[in-house]
Each structure stands twice: as structure tokens, then as C-alpha cells.
Structure 1
């Protein structure tokens, strides 16, 4: 096995190229046979990995902690989880659904999900009853059926709706099986990271200067970045930019605001700067992005 000083980060696009993948697009990967995951050895996953175990056992290390799952267990590995030493029993029957980090981050806008994220970081295995397991198998069958169909005008929307429903169902089941979930005793750094994410997600318009957030949290910008790296593998500025880009994508895709109005609303100094920012992070100009989404307003 590879050691922790030689870790490759694997995002959803890299995973999609694996020969053991049954379906893949830019946001979702489905794997029906997990035995081949042992070929990945030690990786840091930059996606949300959900493994549903029907029979058999899975042993692995998640963030250097030994993890053992058996029948009717669900393993939830969040983005930036380090995995290695995967071992599966011969009679293993399990399926995996992998969601891009961007899609996974959208879960953080749902109520208690920040607290839930910290809970799952330390307790990534959820045990469910047979009825819940059957529900997940039905979702997996529906997803597989739709994903394998030829592309149509509404295929992406159908798949997206199924994934959203699957995630809400998962959250509901976790809430049901852990009703008396107690708060994890967080370190000061973990608590600050949680407060930073809560602050970031609460803002309709996200300032892109790190100093804004460090002042709100009464700490230095350097300390805030160190806290974010130690808790998530990403700097505070990377989190800020990722959320800002998601807001831009949403407004360009779904709002009736003009590009200039969006630029002003998000507090960019001028339209030219906004255009360069969008091209750097979305790979095209705001106008090109809107055209690709079928929107004409500029």
C-alpha cells in the first residue's frame, strides 16, 4: 500500500475514467462492483462517496481511522477524506454512488447539514433497517435505468431530481436512526471552521476578500486559512471562491438579471473584471456561459 506521504487526489472526473465504473458524467459516478476499488490504494477523494453495503464486509481506513462496515451499513465519505487499505469480503454485495464536490457542497445549504457533516466526519457509518436498504436499492435501480438511457432534452433534469431526492432520503434516514445525536466535542479549530462555513453560506452576496471573514470571526486571515486547510484540505480563500462561483453560475443560469446587473449585484468593480473572473473559473465568458445554458439575456 501507498503511504500517507504519497497521496493522489482523485476528483469525480478522474474517477469517471476508471475501468471499473459502470456510469459516469461530470457530477455522478455509479459503481456496482466495489472490489476493484482496491486498485486505487491510497487516495484523497474530492467527491462525496456513498457506499451501501447489502451483504458482506468492508474494512478500510478513513482519515487514518479504521472503519468496518457490514450488512445494511452505509458508509459516507465526504470530500477530502483520505482512503486506504480497502479490503472486501468475498461475499460482498455493495454499490457506490459518487457525487461531485460541487453537488455535495449544495447539501450544506440544508438546515443542520453543517453539524451533520462534522458528525459524519467522526462516525462515517450509518446502520439502517431492511426497509431503508430496500429504498436505497430502488433509488439505485432508478438512477441506473435513467443514466443508461440515450440522451434526451430532459435526461439531466431527471437524473438531477433523482439525485436530490436520494440525498434528502439519506438525510432523513440519518436523522431517524440517530435521533439523539450528540454534538461532537470539537477542537477550537473545527468549531471555527464550522462557524466560517455557516457565515459563508448565510451571505446572499459573498465578499471575496478573506479579511472580511477573519474580522467577523475575530481571528487573523492566516489562522483562518490554516484552520480551513486542517479541517477540509482547502484554504479559506478556495472555499470563498468556490461558493462565489456557484452563485455566479446560479444567477447566470436562472435569473433574469443582465450580466451587468449580476456583476454589480455581486460587488465586482466593473464588468471587465467580472468577465475575466468568470472565464478563469467557468472556462468561458458570461455571455458564452448563458448561451450554453440556453439563456439569451446579456
Structure 2
């Protein structure tokens, strides 16, 4: 069962999302709920396991591999486009000033065990979205689906709040505010996540946002607990991984597309951050996909 409408895809079959051994989740954020059984998977080479009552969350431009599933596996999967996800984050930003800490926690901990209440809630959201996606006569269904996705995102952030160490989320995290700092970090995160982003320096982003590099770095540290350079490097490595594993562009073409000064520098950068030379990484990615 696969249903698609506007910026949303819903299915109960993981093969419809990751048809090969290892697939790039490009352009969508994925939420997979395990109703029954066990599944072993990897995100960018790091292995995880999820079982009954677990929710798997994966952000866009990550390599996801499905390595084992029990015969009795039953799941529900919701995939939202990056555009819908960006709209959802915009709404969450007004409710939760520390959404980035929570989102970053999800990236580092993609398996969240749901309480019985949250279990029922996720299934209710899934069924509600399915119903509206099938309602061809409803003129407002796109708006309703977007609002439902926003509500689900807030519920997930609420659940994540209870799992995070206390020192990661200040006591006033639920106080609504829309400060200049929040908006600035949101703009930085949006620029960073764009597929056509090729900037690799804090200076370049600071100029786009019309602030000093020092100020931007301070905002990133305060909002995410990580430096601006760390976040920029992570985004660059995601792009490199994508072009090497999912396109037939030559190493020289990728280096040019990502605006590296030359192929030699690109190869050294890739070796440093992926642990392998570009062609070696591409070769291993191909083998994993075909096996």
C-alpha cells in the first residue's frame, strides 16, 4: 500500500521506500513506526535496530540500508518532502526555541521508543492522513494534511524532550518566542540544507545573512551545541556522499560542482571526512547497493 499526495508519501512496506540494499533518502524526511517484529538498518554506515513500539526518524540526504527484518514485521511509514518539512519547522520555531537541539538529538538517536499513548497517537495520525489522502472531493485536504503533519511534528518533539538529558534543554524551552537569534539560525539551517549550497566557510554564510562570522558562530553554538564549521562540514559531506553514490558524475565533475579549488583538494577532503578516497567510496557504495 503506497499513497502519495502533494508533499507526502504513506506506505506500510519499507521496500517501497528503500528498494535496494542501501538507498539514499533524498528530498524526504522519513518516519517509520514498527508495529510488530524487528528491523535492522543503517544510516550512513552506522547500524541500528528497532523493534515493536519504536519510531525510526531519518532526515534527508542520508544513505539508509535495510539489512534484516523479521518475517512478522509490520510497519507504518510517513515521508514528508523537504518543503513540507521546512514549513513544519517554521511553525515549530514559533512554539519551541530549542527545536534545533531536539532535531539534532534525533539525528544522533534515530530510534525513539514510543509510550503506549504516543503509540496510539502515531497510528491515529497515520490513519487520519491516509483518510484525507483518499478524499479526492475535499478541497482543503492539502491544507489539512499539512496541519496534521505539523501536529505530528510537535508530538514527536514533545516525546523527544522526555528522552534528552536535562542539561540539553533549558527549563524555559516551551516558552514561545521569536527572537532575532532564532530567526537567524533558522535562515542559516535553511541555506545549509539547500541542495545547491556549495559554501564551505563561515564567512560566506555570514555575508549572506549580513552578520559577522563570530556572531553566526556564537548563534550556532547556542542553538545547536555545535560550531558553525561543524554543521557546514556535515552538509558538505552529505553532498559528497550523494554525488559519489547516486550519480555517474566523475570525481572532477563533482569537485567542480561543489566548487572545490581542484581535484586534489577534493580527494584529500573526501579522504579526511569519509575515510576513503572518492573512487574507493563510490566502488564500495556500488557493491553495497548491488549485494
TM-score, scaled to structure 1: 0.57
| CA 106–34 in structure 1, closer or farther in 2 if over 3 Å, else same | same
- Cα distance in 2 for residues equivalent to 1:161 and 1:37: 24
Which position in structure 2 is the counterpart of 1:140?
126
> Secondary structure of 1:40's match?
coil
Q: Give the alignment of 1:104-123 within 5 angstroms.
A: 104-109=85-90, 110=93, 111-123=97-109
Instruction: Name whichever of 129-138 and 224-233 sits farther off.
Output: 224-233
> Secondary structure of 1:156's match?
helix
Quote how far apart the aligned CAs of 1:124 are.
0.7
Quote how far apart the aligned CAs of 1:57 are.
0.8
Which position in structure 1 is the counterpart of 2:57?
76
- Cα distance in 1 for residues equivalent to 2:11 and 2:24: 18
Gaps of 5+ in 1: 1-20, 185-195, 236-298
User: RCO greater where, 1 or 2, for CA within 8 Å and sep 6 or more?
Assistant: 2
> Secondary structure of 1:158's match?
helix
Q: Give the alignment of 1:200-215 within 5 angstroms.
A: 200-201=185-186, 210=205, 211-213=207-209
Instruction: Name whichever of 91-100 and 149-158 sits farther off.
Output: 149-158
- Cα distance in 2 for residues equivalent to 1:175 and 1:226: 24
Which position in structure 1 is the counterpart of 2:279?
none
- Cα distance in 2 for residues equivalent to 1:151 and 1:234: 40
Quote how far apart the aligned CAs of 1:106 are.
3.3
Alpha-carbon RMSD across the aligned residues, in angstroms, is 3.4
CA contact (8 A) 2:36 2:74 kept: yes
Asked if 1:149 corresponds to 2:135, the answer is yes
CA contact (8 A) 1:228 1:234 kept: no
Which position in structure 2 is the counterpart of 1:93?
74
CA contact (8 A) 2:44 2:63 kept: yes
CA contact (8 A) 2:2 2:16 kept: no
Gaps of 5+ in 2: 170-180, 192-196, 198-203, 217-226, 241-291
1:90-128: CA deviations, max 9, x gaps?
111111000001222234442212111211111111111
In the alignment of these two chains, the number of paired residues is 198
